[in-house]
């Protein structure tokens, strides 16, 4: 324990003005170590399939940090840097063992109307999470059952503060469980429910323990303040230590927010970034056989394959060494999966080493440690009688060719099928907004409009909707990731549960927005979620760059509160082919086009219809209309013409009643079409019998899809 011993030496140096304060820091370290030793034993009780996270792991993290730093660097560090290194290693995993009342509270919200473990559970799964006030009321009602011990090390100062903390825990857990909508919807037995609930609870504890430990440690402010006889400094120290511990589970960006010259009551500054980075390195390096003892694993029955494999890998004699700045791993693997998993894990260590060098560029030289840029792996061997691994040899994906293959006619048949993708994305955005606002704004009308725009001699196909819109995380995490559906993500399920909506997406075809490059060379997007900023971005071709653009003021006005505008810069051939001239009788055009294959018996007589059919086949309205059967309630789809006017896409099928469709002047031609398209006897004309026919609309609903047809019967 070089870190602690160095502090002890400083506490004994009576020539130093800080020695008494350092003694107080040592007292805090002793208190934390005494508590952590007992508390961390509970990790194995609560997360029974996890590898060792007890005090031995914390001490090994400290050993790793000391080996990486070396005596010279350790002696150059401030007393608070030594203090934070020691205490963060002891505390960083303590939230892996929540208090019993926290676990009880989690269990009391689990369940659906059909499946639950406790009859007294509020069965909140897939429902809107409690408001803060509702959570507080529930905790007050449950208080006696929770059996809270207010003397627990991490408890806040007052019962009231603890209740507030538990309210946030409850809400967070409810939101988290709602992200498992797909799995919860597919539960068939109570045993399935129990296993899934346990899995979700464990995952929540694991994935959020770095956030929970931040909350726990901030509650230590009064303890630190009492020991130091400085309440305000106690709060500052607890807050900084909390951030350091949280950092071990965050992305590198989080560390940039930590101070590099933090000051405390005694001399010397403290580099919190450096401390957090050393904690991350010390923690991730400890991946060895001592964390998966055979004496324990042989008696375990694993429910999780992931946990089983974690133990199995370490049982290949995995060990490591840190010497002169070089981290070396060794193991003897008898199974290919173990061998490759170990190498993949070491890839993470290599990345953390690079993260250290990235941060180190902005630090003082005293924080530079001797460290090689990669882990040495030559000690990792395999049983050659069982398998022979070849490094770097695996399936290679030629992204360019795969994308071109997906965009080819083999998948879509028609290049304009990409418009279906855009339409379905817009429809889902409108329906998601409809679901989100079904209580606050149930009468909102939704509109999707397609148009052609000319800008700087370039022709764009545009789609504008007033749906839910996107933010950066959706764009980067889902829009640009082919096959990664936002509407099937745990992130969306959690949001959806807050609305208590029943929206299910319609989009199920192809490769998403990438298909737009079948007809264009660039995609420009302007989008906005409610109560968020406008985002403008572009993608320069399927193999090219993505970038954000400065806000478009006109688009901001067009979008308003929420929505999306997508513009596709059309390729020259598509721009020359596609048109959106104004049309007087678009229903007639549509009818003629659908029957265009019929022979024109008198081309001279019916030439205007023939020309109409040819012009209409490449019209934007025709392309959009061809794949829309019927729209959803309160969501209208329009096509805008070059004169600024728009026509709505009508629900289909049409009832060919020329009077209702106001096509009286075209009855002769319609009679011809119907004679060739329907089973009419030669002696009857459609226009003569239409008044004697009654049409009955028949609607069939199945799994969110509406099917419509008409039955025609004589009156």
Instruction: List, for residues 382-400, the tens digit of each pLDDT value.
Output: 998 888 888 777 777 776 6
- pLDDT beyond 70 at 308: no
Distance between CA atoms of residues 101 and 108, nearest Å: 10
Out of 5-14, 483-492, 592-601, give the one with best mean pLDDT. 5-14
The CATH class given to the 402-583 domain equals alpha beta
Q: Give phi and psi for 703, each to the nearest 5.
A: 50, 50
- pLDDT beyond 50 at 621: yes
Q: What is the CA radius of gyration of the chain?
A: 33
Residue partners of 498: CB distance under 8 A and separation at least 6: 128, 129, 175
**Bigger pLDDT: 1 vs 558:** 558
**Nearest residue to 516 (alpha-carbon basis) of 567, 576, 590:** 567
Quick: pLDDT tens for 324-375. Answer: 999 999 999 988 988 998 998 899 999 999 999 999 999 999 999 999 999 9
C-alpha separations of 252 from 277, 353, 354, 356, 413 in Å: 9, 12, 11, 10, 45
Q: What angle do CA 275, 276, 278 make, to 5 degrees?
A: 65
- pLDDT beyond 60 at 209: yes
- pLDDT beyond 70 at 656: no
Positive or negative, the CA dihedral 618, 624, 629, 634 is: negative
pLDDT value at position 433?
Answer: 94
Distance between CA atoms of residues 656 and 652, nearest Å: 11
pLDDT value at position 337?
Answer: 86
Distance between CA atoms of residues 19 and 9, nearest Å: 9
Q: Which residues pair with 324 in a beta bridge?
A: none
pLDDT value at position 527?
Answer: 97
Distance between CA atoms of residues 63 and 58, nearest Å: 9
pLDDT value at position 446?
Answer: 97
**Structural contact between residues 176 and 241, judged by C-beta atoms closer than 8 angstroms:** no
- pLDDT beyond 60 at 679: no
If 0-12 CB within 10 Å is exposed, 13-18 middle and 19+ buried, where does residue 664 land?
A: exposed
Distance between CA atoms of residues 548 and 538, nearest Å: 6
Quick: pLDDT tens for 62-115. Answer: 999 999 999 999 999 999 999 999 999 999 999 999 999 999 999 999 999 999
**Banded model confidence at residue 183, pLDDT cuts 50, 70, 90:** very high
- pLDDT beyond 60 at 460: yes
C-alpha of 383 from chain center? 40
**Pairing outcome for strands 520-528 and 563-570:** antiparallel
Quick: pLDDT tens for 119-160. Answer: 899 999 999 999 999 999 999 999 999 999 999 999 999 999
Distance between CA atoms of residues 169 and 678, nearest Å: 66
Distance between CA atoms of residues 657 and 681, nearest Å: 18
Say what percent of the chain tops pLDDT 70: 87
**Bigger pLDDT: 150 vs 617:** 150
Q: What is the mean pLDDT of residues 586-613?
A: 63
**Banded model confidence at residue 440, pLDDT cuts 50, 70, 90:** confident
**Banded model confidence at residue 676, pLDDT cuts 50, 70, 90:** low
C-alpha separations of 715 from 164, 682, 696, 712 in Å: 70, 21, 11, 9
Distance between CA atoms of residues 590 and 656, nearest Å: 11
**Bigger pLDDT: 44 vs 555:** 555
Q: What angle do CA 383, 384, 387 make, to 5 degrees?
A: 90
**Banded model confidence at residue 506, pLDDT cuts 50, 70, 90:** confident
pLDDT value at position 712?
Answer: 81
**Banded model confidence at residue 590, pLDDT cuts 50, 70, 90:** low
What is the 3-class SS of 320-339, one letter each residue? EEEECCEEEEEEEECCHHHH
Distance between CA atoms of residues 714 and 694, nearest Å: 6
**Residue that is written with structure tokens 């290599």 in the block:** 350
Distance between CA atoms of residues 221 and 237, nearest Å: 7
Distance between CA atoms of residues 24 and 11, nearest Å: 9
pLDDT value at position 84?
Answer: 98
- pLDDT beyond 90 at 505: no
Out of 424-438, 594-608, 665-679, give the one with best mean pLDDT. 424-438
**Structural contact between residues 654 and 613, judged by C-beta atoms closer than 8 angstroms:** no
**Nearest residue to 83 (alpha-carbon basis) of 206, 207, 264:** 264
pLDDT value at position 298?
Answer: 46
pTM of the predicted structure, to 2 decimals: 0.82
pLDDT value at position 487?
Answer: 87
Say what percent of the chain tops pLDDT 90: 62
Quick: pLDDT tens for 537-563. Answer: 999 987 778 999 999 999 999 999 999
- pLDDT beyond 80 at 407: no
**Structural contact between residues 593 and 613, judged by C-beta atoms closer than 8 angstroms:** yes
Residue partners of 475: CB distance under 8 A and separation at least 6: 525, 527, 535, 537
Quick: pLDDT tens for 272-307. Answer: 999 999 999 999 999 988 876 554 444 444 455 555
Distance between CA atoms of residues 620 and 244, nearest Å: 57
pLDDT value at position 514?
Answer: 80
Distance between CA atoms of residues 234 and 222, nearest Å: 6
pLDDT value at position 588?
Answer: 66
C-alpha separations of 356 from 351, 369, 608, 613 in Å: 9, 10, 75, 67
- pLDDT beyond 60 at 311: no
pLDDT value at position 510?
Answer: 47
- Give me the chain's average pLDDT, please: 88
Write down the domain spans for the chain. 287-391, 402-583
**Banded model confidence at residue 695, pLDDT cuts 50, 70, 90:** confident
- pLDDT beyond 90 at 253: yes
Distance between CA atoms of residues 556 and 528, nearest Å: 8
pLDDT value at position 666?
Answer: 74
Least confident piece of the model among 37-46, 223-232, 446-455, 510-519: 510-519
Residue partners of 91: CB distance under 8 A and separation at least 6: 32, 36, 213, 216, 217, 241, 245
């Amino acid at each position: 324990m070089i870190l602690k011993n160095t502090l002890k030496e400083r506490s004994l140096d009576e020539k130093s003005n800080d020695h008494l304060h350092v003694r107080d820091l040592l007292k805090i370290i002793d208190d934390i170590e005494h508590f952590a030793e007992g508390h961390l034993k509970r990790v194995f009780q609560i997360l029974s399939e996890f590898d060792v996270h007890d005090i031995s792991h914390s001490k090994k993290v400290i050993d790793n940090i000391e080996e990486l730093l070396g005596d010279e660097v350790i002696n150059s560090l401030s007393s608070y840097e030594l203090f934070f290194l020691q205490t963060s290693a002891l505390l960083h995993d303590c939230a892996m063992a929540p208090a019993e009342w926290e676990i009880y509270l989690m269990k009391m919200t689990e369940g659906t109307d059909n499946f639950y473990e406790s009859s007294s559970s509020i069965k909140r799964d897939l429902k809107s999470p409690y408001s803060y006030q509702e959570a507080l009321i529930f905790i007050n009602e449950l208080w006696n059952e929770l059996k809270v011990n207010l003397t627990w090390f991490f408890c806040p100062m007052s019962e009231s503060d603890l209740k507030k903390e538990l309210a946030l825990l409850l809400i967070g857990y409810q939101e988290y469980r709602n992200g498992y909508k797909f799995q919860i919807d597919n539960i068939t037995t109570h045993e399935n429910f129990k296993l899934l609930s346990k899995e979700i609870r464990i995952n929540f504890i694991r994935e959020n323990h770095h956030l929970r430990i931040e909350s726990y440690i901030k509650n230590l402010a009064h303890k630190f303040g009492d020991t130091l006889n400085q309440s305000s400094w106690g709060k500052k120290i607890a807050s900084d230590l909390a951030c350091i511990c949280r950092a071990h589970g965050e992305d590198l960006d989080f560390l940039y927010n930590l101070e590099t010259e933090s000051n405390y009551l005694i001399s010397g500054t403290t580099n919190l970034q450096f401390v957090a980075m050393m904690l991350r390195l010390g923690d991730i390096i400890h991946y060895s056989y001592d964390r998966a003892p055979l004496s324990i694993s042989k008696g375990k029955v694993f429910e999780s394959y992931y946990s089983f494999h974690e133990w199995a890998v370490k049982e290949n004699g995995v060990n490591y060494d840190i010497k002169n700045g070089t981290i070396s791993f060794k193991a003897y693997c008898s199974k290919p999966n173990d061998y490759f998993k170990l190498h993949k894990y070491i890839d993470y260590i290599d990345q953390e080493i690079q993260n250290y060098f990235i941060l180190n560029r902005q630090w003082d030289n005293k924080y530079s440690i001797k460290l090689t840029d990669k882990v040495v792996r030559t000690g990792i061997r395999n049983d050659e009688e069982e398998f022979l691994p070849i490094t770097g040899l695996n399936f290679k994906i030629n992204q360019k060719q795969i994308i071109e293959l997906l965009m080819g006619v083999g998948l879509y048949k028609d290049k304009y099928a990409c418009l279906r993708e855009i339409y379905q994305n817009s429809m889902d955005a409108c329906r998601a907004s409809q679901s989100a606002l079904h209580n606050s704004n149930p009468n909102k009308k939704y509109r999707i409009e397609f148009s052609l725009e000319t800008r700087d001699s370039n022709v764009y196909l545009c789609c504008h909707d007033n749906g839910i819109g996107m933010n950066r995380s959706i764009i980067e995490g889902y829009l640009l990731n082919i096959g990664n559906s936002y509407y099937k993500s745990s992130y969306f399920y959690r949001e959806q549960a807050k609305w208590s909506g029943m929206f299910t997406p319609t989009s199920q075809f192809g490769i998403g927005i990438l298909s737009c490059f079948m007809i264009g060379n660039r995609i420009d997007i302007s989008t906005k979620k409610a109560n968020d900023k406008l985002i403008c971005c572009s993608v320069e071709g399927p193999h090219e760059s993505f970038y954000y653009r400065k806000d478009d003021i006109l688009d901001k006005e067009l979008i308003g509160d929420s929505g999306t505008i997508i513009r596709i810069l059309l390729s020259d051939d598509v721009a020359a082919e596609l048109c959106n001239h104004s049309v007087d009788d678009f229903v007639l055009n549509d009818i003629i086009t659908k029957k265009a294959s019929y022979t024109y018996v008198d081309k001279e007589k019916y030439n205007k219809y023939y020309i109409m059919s040819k012009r209409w086949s490449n019209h934007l309205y025709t392309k959009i209309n061809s794949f829309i059967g019927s729209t959803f309630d309160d969501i209208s789809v329009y096509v805008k013409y070059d004169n600024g006017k728009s026509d709505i896409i009508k629900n289909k099928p049409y009832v060919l009643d020329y009077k209702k469709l106001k096509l009286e002047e075209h009855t002769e031609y319609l009679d011809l079409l119907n004679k060739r398209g329907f089973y009419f006897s030669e002696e009857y004309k459609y226009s003569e019998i239409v008044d004697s026919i009654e049409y009955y609309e028949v609607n069939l609903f199945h799994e969110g899809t509406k099917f419509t047809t008409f039955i025609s019967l004589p009156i």
